[in-house]
Chains A and B, each alone.
Chain A
Amino acid sequence: MMQLTEQQQHILNGGEGETLKKVLQTLIRYGEVFGATKMVPVTSKYNHLVTSFGLKALGPVYELMEQLIETGAVSRQQFSADPRPVDKNVPSNFLLDFIFNNFMYTRQEFYEGQLNKLGLMEKDAFSCTCYMDEVGNKPEKGDILSWSESSAVVYANSVLGARCNRNSGIIDLMGSVLGYVPYFGLLTDEGRKATWIIDIQTTKKPEAQLLGSAIGMKVMEEVPYIRGLDKWLGTELDDAACTFLKDMGAATASNGAVGLYHVANLTPEAKEQGESLIAEGAKVYVIDDAELKRVYDSYPVMWKNKDAKPKLCFMGCPHMSLEQLKSWTDKVEAGLKAAGNSKVVVPTVFTAAPAVLKEFAKTPYAERLKKTGVITSYICPLMYMNNPLAGKMPVITSSNKLRTYTTARYYTDDEILIEITKGGK
Chain B
Amino acid sequence: MKKFQGRTVAAGTVTAEALVSHGGLNTLASFQKALQFGDKKATCGDQNNPDLFGKQMAGKALCLPQTIGSTTGGLVLYCACSMHRQPACMLFSQPIDSLAAAGAVLADVWLEDVSMPVVDCLGEEFLNYVKDGMKITVCEDGSVTVE
- The interface residues of chain B lying within 8 Å CB-to-CB of A170 are 74-75, 78, 102, 106
Q: How far is the CA of A327 from the CA of B110 in the complex (A)?
A: 48
A 135-155 binary contact with B (CB < 8 Å = 1; else 0): 000000000000011100100
What is the CB-to-nearest-CB distance from B25 to chain A, in angstroms, rounded to a whole number? 12
Do B72 and A168 have beta carbons less than 8 Å apart? Answer: yes
Which of A59-67, A331-339, A356-364 contacts the other chain?
A: A59-67
Beyond the given A300-B48, A405-B69, could you list 14 further A-B residue pairs with CB under 8 A, ordered by the A residue number? A22-B110, A153-B71, A165-B98, A167-B71, A168-B72, A168-B99, A170-B75, A170-B78, A220-B66, A221-B97, A256-B68, A257-B68, A387-B36, A405-B70
Annotate B66-95 by CB proximity to A: 1 below 8 A, 0 otherwise: 101111111110110011000000000000
* Contact yes or no, B72 A50, CB < 8 A: yes
Chain A window 205-232, contacts with chain B (Cβ cutoff 8 Å), 1 for yes, 0 for no:
0000000000000001100000000000
Q: Does B32 contact A (CB under 8 A)?
A: yes
A220 surroundings in chain B (CB, below 8 A):
24, 66
Q: Which residue on B lies nearest to A22, using beta carbons?
A: B109
Question: Which residues in window 26-57 of B have CB below 8 A to A?
Answer: 26, 28-29, 32-33, 35-37, 47-48
Cross-chain pairs A/B with CB under 8 angstroms, 10 sampled: A30-B102, A57-B32, A168-B102, A169-B71, A172-B71, A254-B70, A257-B66, A300-B48, A405-B26, A407-B47
Contact of B32 among A22, A61, A169, A386 (CB under 8 A): A386
Contact of B47 with A302 in the complex, beta carbons under 8 Å: yes
Is residue A26 within 8 Å, beta carbon to beta carbon, of the partner chain? yes
Encoded as 1 (CB less than 8 Å from any B CB) or 0, chain A from 160 to 171 comes to 000001111111
Contact with B along A37-74 (1 / 0, CB 8 A): 00000000000001100011111110110000000000
Q: With both chains docked as a complex, state the minimum distance between the C-beta of B42 and any C-beta of chain A, in angstroms.
A: 11
Q: Which chain A residues in 239-297 approach chain B with CB under 8 Å?
A: 254, 256-257
Residue A25 lies at the interface, judged by CB distance under 8 Å to chain B:
yes
* A185 close to chain B: CB less than 8 A: yes
| CB atoms of B36 and A150 under 8 A apart | no
Query: How far does the alpha carbon of A29 sit from the alpha carbon of B74 in the complex, in Å?
Result: 14
Is A90 at the interface (CB under 8 A from chain B)? no
Q: B96 to A57, Cβ gap below 8 A?
A: no
Is A95 an interface residue when CB atoms closer than 8 A count as contact?
no
| Choice from B73, B75, B110 contacting A26 with Cβ under 8 Å | B110
| Alpha-carbon separation in the docked complex, A377 to B74 (Å) | 28
Residue of B nearest to A26 (CB): B109
Do B71 and A150 have beta carbons less than 8 Å apart? yes
Q: Quick one: which of A59, A104, A153, A165 contacts B79, CB cutoff 8 A?
A: A59
Q: Is there an interface contact between B109 and A168, defined as CB atoms closer than 8 Å?
A: no
A51, A58, A63 pick with most chain B CB within 10 angstroms? A58
A55 to B32, CA, bound (A): 10
Q: Is the interface of A mostly helix, strand, loop or mixed?
A: helix
Q: Are B79's CB and A168's CB within 8 A?
A: no
Task: Select from chain A the residue with minimum beta-carbon distance to B37.
Answer: A103
Residues in chain A near residue B134, CB distance under 8 A: none
Question: Smallest CB–CB gap between A156 and chain B, Å?
Answer: 13
Please tell me if the beta carbons of A29 and B36 are within 8 angstroms of each other in the complex. no
- A388 interfacial contact with B, CB 8 Å: yes
Q: Which residues of B contact A55 (CB under 8 A)?
A: 36
Q: How far is the CA of A387 from the CA of B36 in the complex (A)?
A: 9
Total cross-chain contacts (CB, 8 A): 116
* CB closest chain-B residue, reference A170: B75
Asked if A1 is at the interface (CB within 8 A of a chain B CB), the reply is: no
Interface pair B75/A51, CB less than 8 Å apart: yes
- Cα A50 to Cα B28 with chains together (Å): 12
Closest to A401 in B: B70
Whole-angstrom CA separation of A153 from B74 in the bound complex: 16
Q: Is the CB of A168 within 8 A of B103?
A: yes
Shortest distance in angstroms between B47's beta carbon and chain A's nearest beta carbon?
6
Report B96-118 CB contacts with A as 1/0, cut-off 8 Å. 11110111011011100000000
Known: A26-B110, A51-B72, A168-B102. A33 touches B78 (CB 8 A): no
Are B101 and A56 in touch, CB under 8 angstroms?
no
Docked-complex contact A167 and B79, CB < 8 angstroms = no
Q: Tell me the complex Cα distance, A315–B72, Å.
A: 22
A63 and B70 alpha carbons, distance in the complex (Å) = 21
B106 and A26 contacting across the interface, CB-CB below 8 Å: yes
- The reply on B63 being an interface residue by CB < 8 A is no
Tell whether A404 is near chain B: CB-to-CB under 8 Å.
yes
Determine if B9 is an interface residue (Cβ-Cβ < 8 Å): yes
User: A residues within 8 A CB of B66?
Assistant: 220-221, 257
Q: Give the CA-CA distance A96 to B75 in the complex, in Å.
A: 25
Enumerate chain B residues within 8 angstroms of A254, measured Cβ to Cβ. Answer: 69-70
Q: Which of A26, A33, A300 has the most CB of B within 10 A?
A: A33
Give CA–CA (A377, B27) in the complex, Å. 27
Nearest-neighbor residue (CB-CB) of A150 within chain B: B71
Q: Given A300-B48, A405-B26, are A149 and B71 neighbors across the interface (CB < 8 Å)?
A: yes
A167 contact set on B, CB distance < 8 A: 71, 98, 102
A50 to chain B: which residues have CB within 8 Å? 70-72
Q: Bound complex: CA of A148 vs CA of B32, how far in Å?
A: 19
User: Contact between A25 and B78 (Cβ–Cβ < 8 Å)?
Assistant: no
